[in-house]
Structure 1
Amino acid sequence: MQTIFFESKITSYNFYNKFLQELSSFYKTNGGRIAPNLSLEKVEWMDTLVIPNILSLGLYLSKFHHSQIPLQISWNPRILFFLNEIGFFKIVQSKFSVYEIDERFLGGFPVDKQYRDKHKLQYYLPLADYYNKKLEDQEFYRNELFEKMRFGKVLNDYKDVIEDQGSLDSQEVKKTLDVLTELICNSILYSGTECFAFMQTNKYGSKISLSDYGIGFRKSLERKNIKLKVLEANYKIYSQKTGIDLEDFLVIMDVLSYSKSKERENLWELKNIITKNNGILRIHYQSAQVIFTHNKCKNCEEDIKKCLDCLLETADRDPQYSSARFFKTKFPGVHVEVEFTRQEGYGC
């Protein structure tokens, strides 16, 4: 059985650009009949933003193969201790039986480091019958869920960590919590799959990431009978201009355009909060990732066409550092990464 290794330094970019591409090649070779071995044995450092994606990927593959996916680990006390402290092994073994792991490596870590109780992986279960409810019942249930999450689990799990950032005023903290609740509720109601989230604060700032492996943006909008206006108006001209298939990218922009028109705190509001406070927002869907940064977007005009021109400016010649990234392999679901940083010019 072929082993597919995570990079020695796991970043958001090499997860989508290298690891998933190698995994896709493996499945094309064997026709999807054989489950892969995944391995963390070479990992020396990992960006915590990627961890929810590793869980989403494992659950997606384990359901596809109807069995746990082997995840090989080696004796690296620092990495293993960190994953253990944030609840990674508990989730993949006890909660969901995602990965098959050699338990001989777990425990007895000679690491003298403390992690905060709030720095834990969180998971949220889908509401399977939401679309079977009447429209008026859907809206009632959605509002009820939002209130329950916003002033319960989200407040308890994230408020202290967000306030640790120090650069957000009380109103921005409130709005950020509102947006996180909105994103989590959207995943619970619309994705059809589990959602994983992780938040951590260190001396450089705060990081938040959410990941599900569900139906994604397009089907979610279509289920609400929302037209993909940005996609329809811009696909042909911009795809010809850049030489890139921009369908998934434009669907992300459709979601932002739709959220801009709504009164609720949502992705558009999150983008504004982040870009005004020295932050970074990455939104990944299928084969595209859109990146909004403080340096690039702090004086942004709220015109979608100007936004498209700006984001796609270097996409065809500088794929790694462009504000719009395009990958050869699709990854199901929606994946959001947020960074609030404490130093000017902090990049992707």
Structure 2
Amino acid sequence: MGIPIIKNNISLTPHNFYNDFLVDLASYYKSGQVDPIEFDLINDNDFDSLFGKYHIDPITIPLLLSIAEQLKKFHKKPLKLNLTNNSGTINLLEFLDKCNFFKISGKNTNPTFPIGKNIFNFNEAYLGNFRGNNQREDHKVRSYSLQDDNLINELNGFSNEEDKRDFLVEYYIYKVKDHFSELLVDNELTFNQHNLFIDILSELITNGVLHSQSDTYALMFVDRYKTKFSISDNGIGLEKSLKTKTPTSYYSTMKLSVELSKHNSLLKFPIEIINNFHSIFEALYYSMLKDRAGLFDLMCTVVLTCKGYFRLHTENSQIIISNRMLENLINLNSLRELISEVHNRFIYGKINKSEHEELIIKYSFKSLELFKEFYLDTINKYNKDIKFSSVRFYPVKFKGVHIEVEIPNK
């Protein structure tokens, strides 16, 4: 018997993944087991599963692939995944098969589909006799890696990091358009921001494969109520990535975190958890100062323009941003528009380098103050009842950066 991934009558949502599934994994390793971990897709035996109900929230799939890939690297071999195919599980198997979960996580070599990463070892004989359920062609998990399309060799042709980034962003713009455009135009709230979402997602995927130094998984799913999106990497995480940033005249390493550390008495949590919580705000602050759309712009667009939810998770910590933080976001976004305008004026030769730096330095100080307010207001909305909290701390670390978005369809 292995660790069950999906339990009867309990949907595997991102929250259940962080709060329950990862706890089960941690318990396995803390128990002193020496054998490589083994997984069961469901928690019941063949007979009991005939009468079960098994469901996975699609945007949990990138998280599942990320943690499984980490464990495969740790054990240096694929992980065994036990499947069951009967009337109780067939709809789940069919959904996972059609969204390319098994092709990406298995040993697929057919170039018509994503090439398998050999994360899971499972019996493919269980993947058949499906009911032919209608499933949207765009509802697929996507995998992005520097191993794709000879990208590593292409990047070797560039001498600096900015040129590598520009090349990858341009490359992923075409990929993102192909993968997600149809889903974005189907939601009237994302339709008008279609191009901005394409730019932001291309930037985030580039961050995942280039700076986080890992494969990145993403999935977008539209149902009758919401458009959901999840992107997950298992790389070095926000704090380590931020510490590699080259200081500029308007940004020094972990500048905001130093200020936020003065308020760590507000939460009675270990300093390690507080530090990775601070790194979430640091990443958003750094993104706000940049000359291209990224993480900060995704948060504001999702919440302010599309009336949705934005969740950002790293290690043990997560923030949930919604219209409860409306005043903070309006103030921050107004300043972000000024910063973007200054960057654009410099790019198009309207102002010189000295004028550009002077203005960005001024705005960076204003941004710092607004972010401290944003941080304190977010802390004040912390609640032990996680359903109502803007801050969540989980018992088990999950390496990397994990972004989840939910946007109502109307």
Normalised to the residue count of structure 1, the TM-score between the two structures is: 0.90
Q: How many residues align?
A: 336
- 1:114–1:281 Cα change, 3 Å: same
CA shift for structure 1 position 107: 0.7
Secondary structure of the corresponding residue to residue 9 of structure 1: coil
- 1:61–1:176 Cα change, 3 Å: same
Secondary structure of the corresponding residue to residue 146 of structure 2: coil
Confirm or deny that 1:101 pairs with 2:101: no
Structure 1: tracts of 5 or more residues without a match: 344-348
Secondary structure of the corresponding residue to residue 138 of structure 2: coil
1:213-263 CA-to-partner distances (Å, cap 9, x unmatched) read 11111111111245112222122423x222124211110100000001112
> Which protein has the bigger helix share?
2
Q: Pick from 121, 132, 138: which aligns with 2:141? A: 121
Decide whether the 8 Å contact of 2:158 with 2:164 is kept in 1: no
Aligned mates of 2:393, 2:204 — CA distance in 1: 23
1:7-22 correspondence to structure 2 within 5 Å: 7=7, 8-22=10-24
1:177-256 correspondence to structure 2 within 5 Å: 177-225=198-246, 226-238=252-264, 240-245=265-270, 246-256=274-284
- 1:282–1:39 Cα change, 3 Å: same
- 1:312–1:73 Cα change, 3 Å: farther
Aligned mates of 1:165, 1:159 — CA distance in 2: 11
> Which one-letter code corresponds to 1:234 in the other structure?
L
Aligned mates of 2:255, 2:157 — CA distance in 1: 26
- 1:237–1:96 Cα change, 3 Å: same
CA shift for structure 1 position 161: 0.7
Partner of 1:6: 6
Q: Pick from 374, 384, 396: which aligns with 1:317? A: 384
Q: Pick from 270, 273, 277: which aligns with 2:301? A: 273
Partner of 2:75: 65
Aligned mates of 1:16, 1:119 — CA distance in 2: 23
Partner of 2:160: 137
Give the stretch that moved more between structures: 53-62 or 307-316. Answer: 307-316
Decide whether the 8 Å contact of 2:59 with 2:221 is kept in 1: no
Decide whether the 8 Å contact of 2:184 with 2:191 is kept in 1: no
> Which one-letter code corresponds to 1:115 in the other structure?
Q
> Which one-letter code corresponds to 1:25 in the other structure?
S
> Which one-letter code corresponds to 2:179 in the other structure?
D
Structure 1 segments (4+ residues) deviating >6 Å: 127-130, 132-135
> Which one-letter code corresponds to 2:324 in the other structure?
K
Aligned mates of 2:224, 2:396 — CA distance in 1: 34
Name the larger-Rg structure.
2
Decide whether the 8 Å contact of 2:78 with 2:119 is kept in 1: yes
Aligned mates of 1:117, 1:5 — CA distance in 2: 25
Secondary structure of the corresponding residue to residue 193 of structure 1: coil
Secondary structure of the corresponding residue to residue 256 of structure 2: helix
Secondary structure of the corresponding residue to residue 133 of structure 2: coil
Partner of 1:346: none
Aligned mates of 2:158, 2:164 — CA distance in 1: 10
Structure 2: tracts of 5 or more residues without a match: 44-52, 108-115, 247-251, 333-369
